[in-house]
C-alpha cells in the first residue's frame, strides 16, 4: 500500500469513525457485558460474582421461564400467521382498482404511526368488560361479552387481536410486491381461461412469496420481543396468562434485581430467534420462488 492509498484509507476511517465508535459503545460493548453477566450473580448493587453456568441450569427448573416461553410462542405464532394472512388479503383487495383504495390504504397504515402507550390505553378502553366498545357492540346483538383482559382464557387472545391492528407496514410492502408482478403473466392467464382464484394461487402467490417470507420473519421476531402492550395492558395478566418472555426478562433485571439471570434469559431469546429464522429460511426453499435477474 503506497502513501496515497494509506492517506485515502485514513480519510475513509475518519469519515466512518462516528459509526464505528457508536457501534462499539452501544452495541459491541453491551453485548459483551451481557455475555459476561449471564455467568454471574449480579444484583446491580454489588459486584458481579462468577457462578459459571448456574443461571442457565436454573432455567430448566424455573416454571415461569417455561410459562413465559409458552405464552410468547402462542402470541408469536398466532400474530404472525393471522397478521400475514390478513395483510395479504387486504393488499390484494386494495389492488383491485376499487374507488377509495388509496384512502383505505392510508387508514390501514395509520395505526403504525400511533405511539404504543396511546394505542395500549385506547385498546384498554375497547376491551373494558363493563363499558368497552366491543362488549357494547356485542350487547346490541344479544351477546354477553367476555372479560377480555381479566379472564385467563381471553387475555392472550385479546393481545393477539390488538396485534392485527398494525398490519399497515406489511400491507404497504406487499402492495409494492404486487405491483412488480409482470402483467404478461396475467395476460397469459386470461388467455388460458384461468379464474381469479386460480390466477391468485398459481401466479400472484408465487410471485410475492419472497415478500410474504420477509414480512413473516419480521413479524416472528417482533412477536418474540413483544413487551410494551402486555406490560401496559395486563402486567402479566391473570394467572400469568400474558407473562411474555421480554416482560419476564424485565422483571428479573429491574424488579427482582437479578441482572445475571436476566442476561441468561436474553441470550436464550436471541438464540431462539436465530433458530426460528434459520428454520424459516430453510423451509421456505420449498415454497418461496425468486425471479431470475
Interval 135-190: pLDDT, tens: 999 999 988 889 999 999 999 999 999 999 999 999 999 999 999 999 898 889 88
**For residue 34, is pLDDT > 80?**
yes
**For residue 290, is pLDDT > 90?**
no
**For residue 292, is pLDDT > 70?**
no
pLDDT at 150: 92
* pLDDT tens track for 46-78: 899 999 999 999 999 999 999 999 999 999 999
Q: How confident is the model at residue 236 (pLDDT cuts 50, 70, 90)?
A: confident
Of residues 98 and 204, which shows the higher confidence score?
204
Instruction: Kindly list the domain boundaries of the chain, sorted by start residue.
Output: 63-284
C-alpha cell at 171: 400491507
CATH class of the domain defined by 63-284: mainly alpha
pLDDT at 287: 85
Q: How confident is the model at residue 253 (pLDDT cuts 50, 70, 90)?
A: very high
Q: How many other CB atoms are found less than 10 A from the CB of residue 71?
A: 25
Main-chain phi, psi angles of 226, to 5 degrees: -55, 135
Q: How confident is the model at residue 293 (pLDDT cuts 50, 70, 90)?
A: low
pLDDT at 176: 93
Tell me what the pLDDT averaged over the chain comes to: 92
The verdict on pTM exceeding 0.85 is: yes
* pLDDT tens track for 180-197: 999 898 889 888 888 889
**8 Å CB contact between 88 and 173:** no
Amino acid at each position: 500500500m503506497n502513501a496515497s492509498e494509506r492517506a485515502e484509507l485514513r480519510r475513509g476511517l475518519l469519515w466512518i469513525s462516528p459509526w464505528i465508535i457508536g457501534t462499539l459503545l452501544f452495541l459491541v460493548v453491551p453485548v459483551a457485558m451481557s455475555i459476561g453477566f449471564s455467568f454471574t450473580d449480579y444484583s446491580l448493587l454489588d459486584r458481579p460474582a462468577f457462578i459459571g453456568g448456574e443461571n442457565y441450569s436454573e432455567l430448566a427448573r424455573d416454571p415461569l421461564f417455561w410459562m413465559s416461553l409458552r405464552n410468547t410462542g402462542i402470541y408469536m405464532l398466532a400474530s404472525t400467521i393471522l397478521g400475514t394472512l390478513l395483510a395479504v388479503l387486504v393488499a390484494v383487495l386494495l389492488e383491485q382498482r376499487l374507488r377509495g383504495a388509496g384512502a383505505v390504504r392510508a387508514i390501514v397504515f395509520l395505526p403504525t404511526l400511533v405511539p404504543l402507550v396511546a394505542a395500549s390505553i385506547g385498546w384498554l378502553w375497547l376491551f373494558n368488560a363493563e363499558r368497552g366498545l366491543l362488549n357494547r357492540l356485542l350487547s346490541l346483538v344479544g351477546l354477553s361479552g367476555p372479560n377480555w383482559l381479566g379472564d385467563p382464557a381471553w387475555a392472550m387472545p385479546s393481545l393477539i387481536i390488538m396485534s392485527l391492528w398494525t398490519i399497515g407496514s406489511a400491507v404497504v410492502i406487499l402492495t409494492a410486491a404486487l405491483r412488480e408482478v409482470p402483467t404478461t403473466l396475467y395476460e397469459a392467464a386470461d388467455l388460458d381461461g384461468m379464474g381469479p382464484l386460480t390466477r391468485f394461487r398459481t401466479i400472484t402467490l408465487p410471485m410475492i412469496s419472497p415478500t410474504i417470507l420477509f414480512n413473516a420473519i419480521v413479524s416472528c421476531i417482533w412477536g418474540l420481543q413483544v413487551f410494551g402492550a402486555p406490560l401496559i395492558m395486563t402486567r402479566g395478566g391473570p394467572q400469568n396468562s400474558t407473562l411474555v418472555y421480554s416482560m419476564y426478562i424485565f422483571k428479573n433485571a429491574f424488579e427482582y434485581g437479578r441482572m445475571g439471570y436476566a442476561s441468561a434469559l436474553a441470550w436464550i431469546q436471541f438464540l431462539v430467534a436465530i433458530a426460528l429464522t434459520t428454520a424459516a429460511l430453510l423451509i421456505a426453499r420449498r415454497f418461496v420462488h425468486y425471479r431470475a435477474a
